[in-house]
Structure 1
Amino acid sequence: MSVVGYGRTKLWRHTALAVALSLSLGGVAMAQSNASGVIFGNAGDVPGATVHLQNVNTGQSRDITVEANGRYRATSLPVGTYTVTLKRDGQVVGSRENVQVRVGSGTDVSFDAAASEGGAKTLEGITVVGSALPAIDVSSVDSRTVLTSEQLAKLPLARDVTAAALLAPGTVQGDSRYGNVASFGGASASENQYYINGYAVTNALTGLGFTSLPYDAIDQQQIYTGGYGAEYGRSTGGVINVVTKSGGNTWKAGVGLHATPDALRSTPKSIHRKDGQLYQNRSDNESTAMQYTGYVSGPLVKDKLFLYAAADFTRTSGKSTGSILTPQSTDEVSKAKKWLAKIDWNITDNHILQFTGLSDQTDTDRTVYKYSYANQSRGDLIGTDTLKNAASLAGSAPGGDVYVGKYTGYLTDSLTVNALYGTSKTTHRRTLAYATNPNCPWITDSRTGITNPIVGCGLVGGTVLGPGANDKTHGWRLDVEYQLGSHDLRAGLDTQTLESTSGNQYEGGYRWRYRNVRADGVFPGRPDATVPAGTQYYVENRTFITGASVKVEQEAQFIEDRWQVSDRWMAYLGLRNEQFKNINGAGDVYVKQRHQLAPRLGATWDVFGDSTFKVYANAGRYHLAIPSNVAIRGASASLYSSQYYTYNGVGPNGEPLNLVPFGSKIYLNGEDGTDLNPRTVAAQNIKAYYQDEYILGFDKAINNDWSFGAKATMRKLKSSIDDFCDSRPFEKYAARNNIDITNASIPGCYLFNPGVPNTFLVDVDGQGNLVPFKLTMEDFTTPAGVAFPPLKRKYYSLDLYLEHHFDERWFARMEYTFSRSYGNSEGQLKSDIGQLDPSVTQDWDAPEIMQYSNGPLPNDRTHQLKTYGFFQLNKEWLLGANVAIASGRPMNCIGFDPVDAIQYGASYFECNNQPAPRGSRGRLPWTFKADLNAQYRPLWAGADQNLAFSVTVFNLFNSQKTLSQVDGGEDPANDYQRPLAFQTPRYVQFGVTYDFSL
């Protein structure tokens, strides 16, 4: 029976009855395949009884025989609403309606003594957004947040998956230079996994971002922030798992419009340097967005074959102004097209097929003009820039087409089989068209004290995507689940292959950078570079070209047991074994990792035996593969050269004239464009990237409406993979072991495990004669005594929450997280400088660059307070709120090392020739953000209230605090602490939707 119109006293009495009679009997819910859930419970002493489960929307049903001890368990159920009926000799003796099955969760539906005695007692379900059952799930050991489509529709959230994920404790927004991504539990933003209907849709090249879907197609979004079971791997951050809606036995359709007008958008802050100089004028920026949505859902064959289809089309147009270094004015139009179609076929009640197809395509057209900062006005046309599934800066963006097929077979009451196969393909393209010049190089003027910096004619001012870029994935998994007494046993196989064709090069093929000659005339690390006395400026020419077709093959096997030790204790035992194989552009394997064992252990204690107080703990190991992008540059041929020149005059396109070279041309990191021997680019028997995690927590129900809890988490990165680019350790080893390396072929950089000894194969004569070099930590130590530190990334947190469950009037949840993320390595990324090279950052390139690198890491936010919820004023009006407060990001000063033995320039945690340890420059300011929304469903439009109007105000108080800044303190010095990103200014979104039956 619906809860509408139910009195509070009666509500409490029936809910208390459900609590006392059903959950006190204990039970276990098995962690399901990542697109389903479970119903379990105790049927009492009913000999020969069966439990009949029926999906309210599709009619699909299943009968489960009650075990001798009175328990039953139905696993791998599609998410949705069910009616659960207890039968004896064909007669109904008890039933529950409106039973909600959530993804990855268990719902306890037990029956009271009246049912076991043959009475006709019925316990009615009381569920709207949450469940009338107690919020305490005594069967889980993980840390997860599950958001339903109803909650997503009522909360003031931007209409994307990341916005919802940021509601979970311990999540923070990633660096703005990586796009709209989140960091989980101190990990870098590339260490997450994303699933849609059980198939991984994570960016195949870098791990940053994912293929998205129409927002209204989301049925449930599950956010794992830790403690997840052995079925999940390839993540040391978090897991976002989306289950899409399905069709039912009623034809329905709907349309919607969501508008974000520029007229109600606050003006973004302009960017000034610390000395007050205007760096980027943003006062004329504009942005308007219109999103059109629609869906259709219903039975193709009643009770058998169902369709759900949805689509979004979003058109965003705007205008922006570049910085004084790239004085351009740009008009941009972006068209994002997303669709999803899902077929569910109940072949029989015991055999289900599901097919999902979805597409996420974004086309962007940019028209670029010159801009005069002196007159603050637009000038001549420079050209156009057309992008398809490509980032507006270098690299590629997620997107593409995904197809997933899944089979579920309930072979017996105790045996269930799940099989899945999926594939995806994304094409990336970028086309530049210049108005007057056939091509323009990238030009940067880094000289200090210049009032009129040199500018070029380029469109991009950076690197551009090479031709033919695309990503492809395919994979399958097979899970078998068997119930044996008090044990829920599950085993599975999981494979995925990721293929990418990608590459980057400087716009125009090369880059000019104008720079100051130091007062002492020294060029650190370039002793042959000398200029005539009195020379004030010089120019550097750099060439950078990469490109390859690469592949990563990932396999895994897992087994787990959820053992109901007693009515109050449950133990979880899991083991995952993973294998990773990385293949370079020549088709050769350059890293192979096998037998990466990841144990997972957990336990829950139902303290009072009534599911009102749970204490739980878990420990686990989590592995991560080397991303595909590593092979593009680190294991395949690439070119990266540098040459210094003096010059006299500048051409109309910003290029220097009358060039005179000084010093020798060098190949940075040894990248001279030649193929690499795949056996020499990585350490032998390199360990996988992995992290250990420990969690201890409790959840306590205060009463039927309120619950609270706490959770302590500790994460420690035990092994990392990065590259180092230093030949001195090999020279030291060769000298100690009398090995002649005069003619050796030594790559510029090597993949290795930082902070520990490593063994490499070295071509000692340039003829393929490979000799193992077993480098100790002493070998890695420089002649000046600078040594690599041990790897460190630690995260610990304390999460506290208080929740008021939805009671037909209001829902609210408050989370406070105290956390610290510290060490000398962020992980796969380096947000200090926004480096987009997962697992091949400039960290660990040589011991000198790791000096003073220990401290609070970029994703550290010591204090976070998140509060969100909604209030049903009456039948027509609903109000929602989402408030987030957080302490700021750590600040650094990155500058020159006096010696600069590795020729990295301003890349050290040193400033003014003094140590500047990580995080020693304080913190950016606290941020505060309040989002509010209102929804109106008029009764005059019909009793079903299918017409809805909404308005959402994001960042109500227009707080525009600095989120990140330039940490480079000395090159150029006047750029230090220049803001890179502010909070998004206040904006307003209007919406109207209409749902109707067909």
Structure 2
Amino acid sequence: MNGKTLRKSGLCMAMGICLASMALQPALAANTDGSLAGRVTAGAEVTVRSTETGFTRTVKADESGNYRFPFLPIGTYQLQASKDGAAVGEPIEVVVSLGNEANINLGDATNLGAVQVIGSRVISPVDVRSTESATNVTKAELERVPVGRDAQSVALLAPGVIQGQYGGASFGGSSVSENAVYINGLNVTDFYKRVGFSSVPFGFFKEFQVKTGGYSVEYGRTTGGVINAVTQSGTNEFRYGAELVWEPASLQSKGKNHYDADGNPFRIASKDQYDRTNLNVHASGPIVKDKLFFYAMYEFRDYQPESTNDAGSTFFKGKSDKGFWGAKLDWQISDKHLLEFLAFSDKNETTTDNYQYDFDAGQRGNRSNTQFNEAGGTNWALTYTGYLTENFSMKALYGENKRDRIQSSLNDIACDAVQDRRVAGLPQIGCVSSAQIEVGLDKREAARLDFEWQLGNHLLRFGLDREVNTSDNESFYPGPSRKFFQIYPTRPGTTLENGGVVPAGVTAYVRARQQEVRGNFESINSAYYLEDNWQITPDFMLNAGVRIEGFDNKNGEGNTYIKIDDMVAPRLGFSWDFKGDGRSKVFGNVGRYFLPIVNQINVKQAGAFLDERTFYVFNGLEPFQYNGSTYYRPILGAQIGAVDNSQGDGTVGDLRSEVDADIDPVYQDEAILGFQSMIDDTWSWGVRGIYRRLHNAIDDMEITSNGILCGGEPGSIGYVMANPGKDVTLYTDTNCDGTNDGFVTIDTSRAGWALYDDDGNYVGERGWVKPKRTYRALEFMLDRAWDDKWAFNASYTWSKSEGNAEGPSNSDFGFDNTGRTESFDDPFVNLNGNGPLPNDRRHQIKLRGAYAFDDHWSVGATLNAQSGRPINAFGKGNPFDDTSYHSFYVCVSNCTADASQRVYELRRRGSGGHLPWTFDIGASLSYQRSIGAADLRVKLAVYNLLNNQRKLEVDDEFETGIGVPNEFYRYGTGYQSPRYAQLTVSVDF
């Protein structure tokens, strides 16, 4: 450690303000920058100057001595006070971080001995002027610990955030489809399903902020959390370098194989491995000193995954080598006007060859297929910042975010898809590897304006934003018939979803499903907001804001079919510096947050959508040869019941009979109360309590009674998008002539589902339970700042996520159609289904730290320990009618008798217990040295050090049919990834 660093650290420590930026941090700034504020002698001038770009701003303190610099690009600044035109004292170095406000009270500008400095490349975790909560972490801090090189891995460092299903993250009990992700202010969240987002290489990022609750009204369209990130920018110093990241298969542990009770494989993982090599080259510097800067990166990528299917009968060998490019331009037009431009492409293409495989012999056979997958796209954003007066500033952004969704294979033309759902793993037994061909392009056009206006003790923030989200989509099943053949086990007498009854002696049936849609689908999300941050006293701040939102989802013909306006989201918070020293505070907030409807709903329901299902007796499997390999297709027996196209007949149709005319939005109310304090100059701690309640669901429901309008006979309407358990207003047949002619309102808490006796006679109707989800948590945080020697951060979260609805996406049944889950298809799926939800983790412990042995060698470690997921025991029937579908009722006797004679037992949510605790330990060793003009850094990181491969998910279905036990109940469907290592070598000049 050199003397200069020691002197800086010593000064910082002596002043008692060296605290880490990875702690919980409230925020009061825009989503691409930070701000700087404080108090000084009235009338004094305060100047900030960027040490990296030369950007300089000067403001004059008001009559109360308050000064503020809004919309400051993140980075290191020199802060200088002056009086009567003469500088007073030495400049003070301060760091402005993403989404936060640094508070620096300069005291009497003639007496800098009284200055309270916040930060010398560090930030205080106690922002006494704000109520918003977030976790900030810089790229430099992440280099000290073993953390996955992606934005979601960074988010998982925050308290209350867990890995969810379908590759997403769950914030505070939410489902994985409720989050938002921003890069340089551009929303890059997937809006088709809201799972996933556009991203850039880890080295392209500069800083992250993870918002886990209580965020400002400038943020909306999320009931989960927000990942906010900014990228690198150029400075006055020319820099260039390269970084190699290598994850070889030789440094990966083998996955464990799992077998059923008879010794047959149900999950083969020992052959799953990959080689990944990424090499990025980057350069940055001034085009015009102090004015115009650039940062550019190109990353060469080589990813070669290998795996088998769960049965070990097919071997997959993939390759993906499309590179990433990204660029950032910053133009400091003057000290009052800034312009920045971001562009990048995360377009990716993966080609996967499929081979027949003999697992026991370890031999690969003939190639059976080749699959193609394309994702990502080009993105850009232009942002203007204007400091119009000392008290009035603005930001304006316009950008585009594109994502491809393309899946296909060589066998698509010749082969039908066949899946055997009678066995574990749901294997594809036909010659098609992917179940559906999809060609889609999602494009977001985003525009927003944000303003800040300081009026004495009131900081007014207001703005508006608008997004036009367009999905150009075509999807269909492969093969000459364009049908997907699925084989299901059953029992005689069972009523299928089309109303057909399984004949005597039949133990399996085939569902032949043709599902197609094509069109251009648009959604418009708009909002405006107003917020007042009122500094009532020097030590007490009140935050009051409101956000007004509107969602407009359009059909394949460009006409509105779901529109929700005037959604009012009030938010109120406070922060009290009860000691008046800027080192401790009590804070709290309450707020409402609305969630938009995903574009998948437009595509699935509001296009020329065909969903035709035909049911047949299963008469066995017929083998056939294709590409030198043997495959199977079902032998179709007699058709069971009529063809069912109730969910889509190939036309757009009159959607008034499929959408509630008075549909209510999905929204969440949240309340937080917290405390933060510095223990001493390096340690801080905090605690907060959280309550979240999700209101409403928008989901598909099958309405089989239109309110008994036709002489006591129910009129089936079919599947509709509505609010389960609330009034549904639909266009239907009101005069019994077979033609829809008027609207009827059905209270679905009491009606909407027709009931019949054993002889098929109508005996009444019933309704749905309302969706419920509550999240309660206590979070405890402890942090020790990095002082060039060591750092430590710990959090413990106790939480309960309970109710009967996980959210817009549902992982109970492994069904990933966001907004079209199976939770409310009939009234019995969630009947008496209250209990712990899939994202309930009662206990979470997160530790991370780093220690430097000397100037060259350091170590880092992380621990993520959490209690297991609840296990359900889903049945397939119910004691109220003959429906065979998911429920919390299990048939225990007379299961083959008439419906009224069957005996059921209620198995409440979580009745199967919980999965065991999981522990994930990471470790890293780093070496750094300056060699001439080059800075070398080498890091070896090992993830899942103990190679734990415990279950993360299991098969929750206790029955596969009414009274038919599921032999794979509680078998694992997801496990911890095996241990792997990652070597990073970077050289910067």
What is the TM-score with the length of structure 2 in the denominator?
Answer: 0.91
From 811, 835, 838, give the equivalent of 1:858: 838
1:705 deviation in Å? 0.6
Structure-2 change in CA distance of 1:537 and 1:245 (3 Å) = closer
Maintained 8 Å contact 1:30/1:562: no
**Greater CA deviation, 620-629 or 2-11?**
2-11
Shift of 1:9: 6.6
Specify which of 388, 398, 412 is matched with residue 374 of structure 2: 388
Query: Does structure 2 conserve the Cα–Cα contact (< 8 Å) formed by 1:274 and 1:975?
Result: no
Give 1:681 deviation, angstroms.
2.1
Q: Does 1:444 align with 2:435?
A: no
Deviation at 1:524, TM superposition (A): 5.1
Distance 1:794 1:53, change over 3 A: same
Q: Per the alignment, in what secondary structure is the counterpart of residue 250 of structure 2?
A: helix
CA distance in 2, matches of 1:810, 1:880: 9
Change (3 A) 1:668 1:964: farther
| Deviates most, 775-784 or 540-549 | 775-784
Equivalent-residue separation in structure 1 for 2:728 and 2:634 (angstroms): 47
Q: Equivalent of 1:72, from 67, 72, 81?
A: 67
Q: Which moved more, 1:487-496 or 1:677-686?
A: 677-686
Q: Using the alignment, how far apart are the partners of 2:980 and 2:12 within structure 1? A: 40
Match of 1:150 in 2: 140
Distance (Å, rounded) in 2 between the aligned partners of 1:74 and 1:29: 18
The correspondence for 1:924, drawn from 896, 911, 915, is 915
Q: 2:67 & 2:859 partners in 1: Cα distance?
A: 41
Map 1:155-554 → 2, pairs under 5 A:
155-175=145-165, 178-179=166-167, 181-273=168-260, 276-324=263-311, 327-335=313-321, 337-373=323-359, 375-389=361-375, 399-434=376-411, 438-447=413-422, 456-465=429-438, 467=439, 469-508=440-479, 509-518=482-491, 520-523=492-495, 528-531=500-503, 534-554=505-525
5+ residue gaps, structure 1, are 20-27, 390-398
User: Is the CA contact 1:641–1:672 (under 8 Å) kept in the aligned structure 2?
Assistant: no
- Structure 1 window deviating more from structure 2 (336-345 vs 482-491): it is 336-345
Q: Quote how far apart the aligned CAs of 1:274 are.
A: 5.5
Q: Is 1:723 matched up with 2:700?
A: yes
Describe how 1:889-900 pairs up with structure 2 within 5 A: 889-897=869-877
Cross-structure match for 1:127: 120
Of the candidates 91, 103, 107, which is equivalent to residue 108 of structure 1? 103
User: Secondary structure in 1 aligned to 2:829?
Assistant: helix
Correspondence for 1:780: 752
Inter-CA distance 555–904: structure 2 relative to 1 (3 Å threshold) = farther
Contact 1:49 1:88 in 2 (8 A): yes
Q: Supply the AA of the counterpart residue of 1:327.
A: S
Give, in whole Å, the separation in 1 of the partners of 2:161 and 2:261.
30
Alpha-carbon distance between aligned partners in 2 of 1:649 and 1:787, rounded to the nearest angstrom: 41
The separation in 2 between residues aligned to 1:853 and 1:609, in whole angstroms, is 49
The 1:346–1:274 alpha-carbon spacing in structure 2 relative to 1, beyond 3 Å, is farther
Q: How does 1:93-104 map to 2 (within 5 A)?
A: 93-104=88-99
Task: Give the distance between the partners of 2:26 and 2:506, measured in 1 at CA.
Answer: 75
CA-based RMSD: 2.7
User: What SS does structure 2 have at the residue aligned with 1:664?
Assistant: coil
1:646, distance to aligned residue in structure 2 (A): 4.2
Q: Percent identity?
A: 32
Amino acid paired to 2:821: T
Kindly indicate whether the alpha-carbon contact (under 8 Å) linking 1:313 and 1:338 is maintained by their aligned counterparts in 2: yes
- SS across alignment from 2:298: strand
Cα distance in 1 for partners of 2:983, 2:880 equals 55
- The Cα of 1:126 is off from its aligned counterpart by 5.3
CA, structure 1 residues 919+911, in 2 after alignment: closer, same or farther (shift >3 Å)?
farther
Q: Is contact 1:327–1:455 with CA below 8 Å preserved after alignment?
A: no
User: Which residue does 1:641 correspond to in 2?
Assistant: 613
**Letter matched to residue 116 of structure 1:** T
- Structure 1 Cα separation of the partners of residues 9 and 338 of structure 2: 40
Q: Offset at 1:672?
A: 2.8
8 Å contact from structure 1 (residues 589, 678) kept in 2: no
2:349 aligned counterpart, secondary structure: strand
Q: Does 1:35 align with 2:36?
A: no
Deviation at 1:900, TM superposition (A): 8.9
Distance in 2, matches of 1:507 and 1:739, equals 44
Tell me the residue number matched to 1:951.
940
* Secondary structure at 1:263 match in 2: helix
Distance in 2, Cα, partners of 1:309 & 1:458: 44
- Given that 1:204 and 1:499 are in contact with CA atoms closer than 8 Å, whether structure 2 keeps it comes out as no
Q: Give the deviation of 1:542 after TM superposition.
A: 2.6
- Give me the whole-angstrom Cα distance separating, in 1, the residues matched to 2:213 and 2:636: 57
Per the TM alignment, residue 91 of structure 1 is displaced from its structure 2 partner at its CA by 0.9
Change beyond 3 A, Cα 1:956–1:267:
same
In 2, Cα distance between equivalents of 1:776 and 1:454? 38
Partner secondary structure for residue 344 of structure 2: strand
Aligned to 1:748: 718
Deviation at 1:279, TM superposition (A): 1.3
Which residue identity is paired with 1:921? G
Are 1:61 and 2:56 an aligned pair? yes
Give the C-alpha shift of residue 543 in structure 1.
2.4
Q: 1:7 to 1:409 in 2, by over 3 A?
A: closer
Amino acid at match of 1:307: F
CA change 1:902–1:535 in 2 (3 A) is: closer
Unpaired stretches in structure 2, ≥5 consecutive residues: 20-24, 626-630, 756-763, 893-903
SS at match of 1:250: coil
In the alignment, the residues of structure 2 paired with residue 841 and residue 641 of structure 1 have an alpha-carbon distance, to the nearest angstrom, of 18
The 8 Å contact of residues 823 and 856 in structure 1, kept in 2 or not, is answered as: yes
Shift in Å, 1:668: 5.8
Cα 1:779/1:209, change in 2 over 3 Å: same
Task: Using structure 1 for the length normalisation, give the TM-score.
Answer: 0.91
Seen in structure 2, the aligned counterparts of structure 1 residues 458 and 895 have a Cα distance that, compared at 3 Å, is farther
The residue correspondences of 1:704-719 to structure 2 (distance < 5 A) are 704-719=681-696
SS class of match (1:5): helix
Aligned 8 A contact 1:269 1:283 in 2: yes
Q: For residue 336 of structure 2, what is the amino acid of its counterpart?
A: N
* 3-state secondary structure, aligned to 2:6: coil
Where does residue 7 of structure 2 map in the other structure?
6
Pick which of 72-81 and 94-103 moved more. 94-103
Which SS does the other structure have where 1:779 is aligned? coil
Shift of 1:877: 1.0
1:475 Cα shift?
Answer: 1.6
Deviation (angstroms), 1:980: 1.4
Q: Cα distance, 1:8 vs. partner?
A: 7.4
Q: Tell me how far apart the structure 2 counterparts of residues 740 and 962 of structure 1 sit (CA, whole Å).
A: 49
Deviations 1:161-180 (A, max 9, x none): 000000011100011xx12x
Per the TM alignment, residue 734 of structure 1 is displaced from its structure 2 partner at its CA by 1.6
User: What SS does structure 2 have at the residue aligned with 1:631?
Assistant: helix
Q: 1:870 to 1:446 in 2, by over 3 A?
A: same
Task: Report the count of equivalent residues.
Answer: 950
Paired residue secondary structure (1:92): strand
Is the aligned partner of 1:628 residue 2:599?
yes
Mapped partners of 1:492, 1:227: distance in 2: 18
Deviates more, 1:848-857 or 1:333-342: 333-342
Deviates more, 1:811-820 or 1:583-592: 583-592
Residues 53/669 of structure 1: CA separation in 2 closer, same or farther (3 Å cut) = same
SS at match of 2:642: strand
Cα distance, 1:809 vs structure 2:
1.0
Letter in 1 for 2:178: E
Are 1:694 and 1:713, in contact at CA under 8 Å, matched by a contact in 2? yes
Letter in 2 for 1:463: Q
